[in-house]
Chain A
């Protein structure tokens, strides 16, 4: 069964450093998302991406964040200058979008980002 994969599973970085979180969505999906979950808190939407551009972003997704689909298979989230409060689990998701109405989103296993 196709699945969303994410690498690395755990990333430790120092405050101020740049990190890139990688995702490989399901191959025929058209819509891509990043969510995050701070330990013990709700899953929060960050950004959605379609047709090589951002469709929607939340207030959390400020100028420190960027997304890219560099090669038609990977979908990346870059945090330019990490802060302690960026420590969280980051989930990538994808959906087909091939039929009218919302399609279910399939989530990856997450990358745990720890900023020290």
Chain B
């Protein structure tokens, strides 16, 4: 699985967009980019995933560069409840059960009032 690199921490003002970068320069053609987050002491929470096209859902948008070597998770209007550790994970396209998540250290996003 491709290694991902994320900044250790970021701050964002409440109400502003939070843009969380992820570098995955060794990603292979069959690997998806997944984003999860973990609010303090809670279980990880799925946010969004994509292969090569930009994706949007009710939580966030995912922008993947054309070369797929990096991506950005965008929380359009961050709230205090979005303070969490955000994980970017590359997972191979695999229609089976062996799709374990390998969590790194992620980015601690602190939303400031």
Chain A residues engaging chain B, CB cutoff 8 angstroms? 4, 31, 33, 35, 42-45, 48-51, 55-56, 58, 89, 91, 93, 95, 97, 99-110
The yes or no answer to B38 lying at the interface (CB within 8 A) is: yes
A22 to B102, CA, bound (A): 23
When A44-B103, A107-B45 are in contact, do A102 and B97 touch as well, CB less than 8 Å?
Answer: no
On chain B, the number of residues with a Cβ less than 8 Å from chain A's Cβ atoms is 25
A35 to B34, CA, bound (A): 17
B93–A102 CB distance below 8 A:
yes
Task: Find chain B residues with CB under 8 A from A33 CB.
Answer: 100
The yes or no answer to B43 lying at the interface (CB within 8 A) is: yes
Chain B residues engaging chain A, CB cutoff 8 angstroms? 32, 34, 38, 41-46, 49, 91-105
A31–B97 CB distance below 8 A:
yes
Task: Find chain B residues with CB under 8 A from A95 CB.
Answer: 99
B97–A42 CB distance below 8 A:
no
B97–A56 CB distance below 8 A:
yes
Most buried by A among B44, B49, B97, B98: B97
A101–B94 CB distance below 8 A:
yes
A91 to B91, CA, bound (A): 20
5 tightest A-B contacts by CB?
A107-B43, A55-B97, A50-B97, A104-B46, A43-B103
Name the one of A42, A101, A110 contacting B43, with C-beta atoms under 8 angstroms: A110
Name the one of B43, B49, B102 contacting A108, with C-beta atoms under 8 angstroms: B43
When A100-B95, A101-B94, A102-B93 are in contact, do A45 and B44 touch as well, CB less than 8 Å?
Answer: no
A45–B102 CB distance below 8 A:
yes
Task: Find chain A residues with CB under 8 A from B99 CB.
Answer: 31, 48, 95, 102-103, 105
